[in-house]
Amino acid sequence: MTRDITAANEALLRRFYDEVYADWNMAMVDEVVAPGFVSHDWPAGATGPQFFRKYYEALRAAVPDARYEVDDLIGEGDRVVVRWRMLGTHTGDFHGIAPSGRAITLRGVAIYTVEDGKLVERWVVSDLYGALEEARASMPSTLATRSNSRSSATEVSR
């Protein structure tokens, strides 16, 4: 039984990454993300499918060709761990970090909790601002100085 649950949860997350993070099929978000979904890398009080879409709209405004690739996916009961890479080109402003036009690679690990076929919780460790700062480092010094005067730790929800 536990093995069946683990396999179903792994399949759900693989499908989620394929359809949402590669093809950007946001209709699947409503199907799979629970209304009370919490991602511990979001601002307090930001929950559910609506904020999920808002978060990734902001990210895709900065990196319109963003796509995620799964490097490892490991399940155990109601938990699934995904080690991933996001690849794309930084062509839009991201909270004060001016577009660099450079390719970026963001690496991270996400731990999901699944209940009754829905994603209910996520813990993420990544370096989004580091990846964008790296892209910014290649910009002409005037643009980099202007961007550097703004905080790169601004929440995505603002």
Residue type, 19: E
**3.10.450.50, 3.20.20.60, 3.40.140.10, 3.40.50.300: CATH of 2-148:** 3.10.450.50
Average pLDDT over residues 63-74: 97
Which comes out higher in pLDDT, residue 140 or 77?
A: 77
The 10s digit of each residue's pLDDT in 44-67 is 999 999 999 999 999 999 999 999
Domain spans in the chain, listed from the N-terminal domain onward: 2-148
pTM of the model: 0.82
Instruction: Extract the tokens encoding 157.
Output: 């929800």
Q: So what's the pLDDT on residue 94?
A: 80
**Which residue shows structure tokens 């938990």?**
79
Residue 102, burial from CB neighbour count under 10 angstroms (0-12, 13-18, 19+): middle
Average pLDDT over residues 78-87: 97
CA gap 51, 157 in Å, rounded: 8
CA gap 62, 68 in Å, rounded: 15
The 10s digit of each residue's pLDDT in 91-150 is 998 877 889 899 989 999 999 999 999 999 999 999 877 776 777 676 555 444 444 433
